[in-house]
Amino acid sequence: MEEKTLLSTREVSQLLNINEKMVYSLISEKGLPATKATGKWLFSRHLVEKWLENQTINYPKTVQHLPLYHGLLIIIGSNDILLERLIYLFNMSFPEHVAVFGNVGSMGGIKALTRNLCHVASSHLLQDDGQEYNFDFAFQELGATSPVLVNFCRREQGLVVAKGNPRAISSVSDLCNPEIKIVNRPVGTGTRLLLDTELEKADLKEAEIKGYAHELESHLDVALDVFSGKADAGPAIKAVADLLGLDFIPLRWERYDLLILKEHFFEEGVQLFLGLLHEPKFREMAERLEGYDLGLCGKIIFPQQHNMEKEGSALETS
């Protein structure tokens, strides 16, 4: 029998082994993805499963280790155009090495690092204090095995809208307009977390936002949906808006980091990759894109020195 893609409240309660009243509480208090388009609560099975995975706090740690570095550099985590270009530069600069990237979102990258599935995880998860990034999430997943955090960039996040902004969208608050349809990023991505944070500030509920449950895997995919007219707006970085000639409504500048376990930090491929962050070729690539700031790029950010970014006192990678 084909597995159902849409579940009722009762079916979700059976799936999670809880009573139906608890399902309603999870919707309002824990952000369980749901829609009321038919007058009754409906749940996308894959969104419920993603939400459940994202709630996992004691993720099983693998007993295996990455094989000894032999030329394959594995990077997993948050999607970024400039990171993709750096990976291309790495592969062109060092033909005896190959870097590969898995786009699974920031939380997926940290969990992959926890399970020792990659050398580098890319992440931009905003913490509850609204200022810092990644430290708390890394600590929750890795505990005492704290990774080295190397800044990749600061980048501008916001809402991508059509050229000329025909819907006159000026802030997140306008997204509750029933005539405005958005496209979204998946649960576990830093961009989704930022949008949810901004919606909470504006006292808006997911059910009030048309298109909220429509998820795409990359910033460019979001921008292409807006460019083609399939959506009126979507959360993405400024760089993709500029590439497609779209308008952009800024939300904030964010810190985007590379997380590396100490046991892998000095491996050849990791050091070659980090070394490119200081090279003129990479800096020129960044200058050709809008919405990036490399003021901290290539610098180690220590978890115990949360004010390091503000004070401008970070150590450069060797």
| Model pTM score | 0.77
151 within 8 A of 297, measured Cβ to Cβ? yes
Cβ atoms 78, 53 nearer than 8 A = no
pLDDT reported for residue 306: 41
Give the Cα-Cα-Cα angle 156, 238, 87 (nearest 5 degrees). Answer: 90
Task: Quote the pLDDT of residue 20.
Answer: 87
- What is the per-residue pLDDT for 304? 44
Q: Which amino acid appears at position 167 of this protein?
A: R
Torsion sign (Cα): 6, 10, 16, 17: negative
Q: Report residue 208 CA to chain centroid gap.
A: 23
Q: What number of other Cβ atoms are within 10 A of residue 89's Cβ?
A: 17
Q: Could you give the CA distance from residue 68 to residue 72 in angstroms, rounded to a whole number?
A: 10
d(CA 161, CA 169): 8
Tell me phi and psi for residue 212, to 5 degrees. Answer: -55, -40
d(CA 77, CA 55): 18
The pLDDT assigned to 314 comes to 39
CATH code, 72-155+254-316: 3.40.190.10
Q: pLDDT 10s digit of each residue in the chain, 318 long?
A: 446 678 888 998 988 889 888 888 888 877 888 887 777 888 888 788 877 876 765 555 544 578 889 999 999 999 999 999 999 999 999 999 999 999 999 999 999 999 999 999 999 999 988 899 998 898 888 876 789 999 999 999 999 999 999 999 999 999 999 999 999 999 999 999 999 999 999 999 999 999 999 999 999 999 999 999 999 999 999 999 999 999 999 999 999 999 999 999 999 999 999 999 999 999 999 999 999 999 999 999 864 444 333 333 333 444
- Among the four given CATH numbers 3.40.50.720, 3.90.76.10, 1.10.3980.10, 3.40.190.10, the one describing domain 157-252: 3.40.190.10
Separation between Cα atoms, residue 82 and residue 61, nearest integer Å: 31
What is 180-206 written as a DSSP string?
Answer: --B-B--TTSHHHHHHHHHHHHTT--G
Nearest 5°: the CA angle 114, 117, 121 is: 65
**What pLDDT is recorded for position 139?**
85
